[in-house]
Amino acid sequence: MKKILVYVVVAVLMMTGWAGFVLTGTVNGWFHTPLAKENTSASFRAATEAEIKKQFVGNFAMVVMKNGAVEYEQFYSAGKPVDRNTVFQVSSLSKWISAVGIMKLVEQGKLDLDAPVSKYLTRWQLPPSEFNNEEVTVRRLLSHTAGLTDGLGYSGFKVGVALPSLEQSLTHAPDADEGSSGVVLVGIQPGTMFKYSGGGYTMLQLLVEEVTHQSFADYMKQSVFEPLGMMHSTYVWSDSSAYALAEFYNQDGTPSEHFRYTSLAATSLYTSLADLELFFQAHLPGKNREPVGRNALRPETLKKMREPHAQSMGVDMWGLGTVLFVPIDNNDFMIGHDGKSTPPINTAIRLNPQTGDGIIVLETGHPRIATTLASEWVFWHTGKVDLFLFQMLTGGMVKTIMIGWIVIIILTIAYGLVNRRRMKKR
C-alpha cells in the first residue's frame, strides 16, 4: 500500500511539473512557430497574403507601422475595392477611442476618475444590488473592474428597426449577444476583479452626454476626431455619407446586412485605416516637435491610460480603455484593442509606444483573422506571446498537457507492474 502511495505521489509531481513546463513554454512561445519564415517585412507581408487565401475574407485593410510611420499598407476585397480611406465598422475597438474622449473630460476637470458615477447621472441609475453602487467609478468602468455582470456583447439592429434609448439599453439591452444577460447591474464587488462589460462603456456614453450636454457622437467629433484630423470617423453612420463603407459579409461569403447600435461608445465606431494611423501616431512624438497626444490628450494622460489597472492569472492585462498585450522596455506595455462581432467583423491594433512600431488590421467576413495577424505580428516582432495569442494557443496547450499526463500515468502503472513482478520472483 505504501508503494502504491509513493507511485501516486511521484506521478502527481511529474504531472504537475509537466503542466508547469508546458504552460511556461506556451507563455514564452517555445512551441510556437512565427507566422513569417524570415525576420523581414516582405516575409511577414507574404505570410499575411497566404493566410488571407486560406479561407474567406470579405474586405481587408492592414498597415504595418515602423518608427511611427507607415512601412507598408495591404488591401484585399472580395467585392468592391477598399483602400486606406474606406470606412470600416470596428466593433469593440471603439472602446479604446471612446476612452480617449472620456479621459479628455478628466483632463478638463469635468469628470473625476474616482468619484461615484452616480454623481454625474440623472437620466438613469444602476439598479440596487447586494453591492454598493457608489463604488462604481469612471476608472473602474474604463478598466472593466466595476463589478458589472451584463456580459455585453451587443448584436445590434437591422436597418429600419427603431433603436432603443440609452436608458432602455442600460436597463435591459434587447440586442444583447446570446448568453449575455443584457442587464447592467453590479454583481461582483467593485474593484476586486476584471470582468469585461460592454454595458460599462454604454454607461460612460451616457455619462459623456450628461456632462457635456451634447450627443456622444458630436462630442467625440469635436474633442477627438477633429483635433487628430480623423475626418473619416464617426459613431453614427449616415447612408448619405460621401465616404465608402466596406461591404459586410457572412463567414460563408454571402453578403450580410449592416447593423446599427445604441451602444455607440462600446461598439459603433466607423473609421478608416488612414484615420487609425493618425490615432496611432497621436501616441508618439511627431517629427516637427509635435507633442504626444496631438492636442487631443496630454502625454501624461496617455501614459496613465496604459498603467495596469486589471490582472488575469496574476498578469497585468488592462489599463484605462486599452489592453496591455505584453510588457516592453521602461516598465511600459505593447497596447491596443481588438473588435469582434457577428456577422463577422474583426479589427485589431498593436502599438509599441516606445518605438512607434505596430500594426492595424480592419476586416469583414472572418471572425478572427485580424486578431490572429496582429498577435502573430507581436510574436514575430518581439518573440513574445501576447494576451490573445496565448488564448489561441490554449487549446493546443491543454491537449499537450493531457497527452503528457496520460503518458505519465501509463508509464507509472507499467513501472509498478514490472516492479511488482520482480519482487514476486525474489
- The least confident of 2-11, 49-58, 157-166, 260-269 is 2-11
Number of folded domains in the chain? 2
Is residue 35 included in any domain, yes or no?
Answer: no
Within a domain: 211: yes
The domain spanning residue 46 has which CATH number? 3.40.710.10
- Calculate ∠ Cα 55-60-64, nearest 5°: 115
C-alpha to C-alpha distances, 65 to 61, 62, 131, 183, 256, nearest whole angstrom:
13, 10, 45, 40, 31
CA pair distance 94, 271, nearest whole angstrom = 9
Helix, strand, or coil (residue 426): coil
Is residue 312 domain-shared with residue 418, that is, in the same domain?
Answer: no
Kindly state whether residue 389 falls inside one of the protein's structural domains. no
> What pLDDT band is residue 414 in, cutting at 50, 70 and 90?
confident
Given this model, what pLDDT does residue 8 score?
83
The answer on 78 and 227 residing in a single domain is yes
What integer is the mean pLDDT of 114-129? 96
Q: Tell me, yes or no, whether 119 and 14 share the same domain.
A: no
Question: Average of pLDDT values for 271-277?
Answer: 97
Q: Identify any residues that bridge with 61 across adjacent strands, giving them in sequence order.
A: 75, 362
Helix axes 94-107, 198-212, angle to 10 degrees: 40
Per-residue model confidence (pLDDT) at position 294: 87
Residue 66: domain span = 41-384
Looking at the structure, tell me whether residues 206 and 354 fall in a common domain. Answer: yes
C-alpha cell at 16: 504537475
Question: In this structure, are 64 and 11 located in the same domain?
Answer: no
Average pLDDT, the chain: 93
Residue 340 domain-assigned (yes or no): yes
When pLDDT is cut at 50, 70 and 90, the band that residue 426 belongs to is low
Q: Are residues 274 and 357 in the same domain?
A: yes
Residue 91 carries which DSSP code? G
Q: How far is CA 396 from CA 90, 234, 308, 401, 417, in A?
A: 29, 40, 29, 9, 32
Average pLDDT score over residue span 190-209: 97
Kindly state whether residue 16 falls inside one of the protein's structural domains: yes
86 with 175, same domain: the answer is yes
In a domain, 308, yes or no: yes
What is the pLDDT, as a whole number, of residue 1? 62
Co-location of 8 and 49 in the same domain: no
Alpha-helical (H) ranges within 215-368 are 216-220, 226-228, 264-267, 273-281, 299-305
Distance between CA atoms of 134 and 137, rounded to whole angstroms?
8
Residue 9 belongs to some domain of the structure = yes
pTM of the model: 0.93
| pLDDT exceeds cutoff 90 at 61 | yes
Q: Would 261 be classed as within a structural domain?
A: yes
Question: Mean pLDDT throughout 141-161?
Answer: 94
Whether 219 and 204 have beta carbons less than 8 Å apart is answered as no
Read off the pLDDT band of 238 (50, 70, 90). confident
Reduced to 3 states (helix: H, G, I; strand: E, B; else coil), residue 289 is coil
User: What is the percent of the chain where pLDDT is above 90?
Assistant: 81
d(CA 240, CA 245): 11
* Co-location of 20 and 97 in the same domain: no
Answer yes or no: is pLDDT of 289 > 70. Answer: no
Same domain, yes or no: 380 and 414: no
Report which residue type is found at 213.
H
The tens digit of pLDDT for each residue in 295-310 reads: 899 999 999 999 999 9
Residue 227 to residue 232: CA distance in whole angstroms: 13
**Cβ atoms of 138 and 117 closer than 8 Å:** yes
17 and 144 inside one domain: no
Same structural domain for residues 66 and 143?
yes
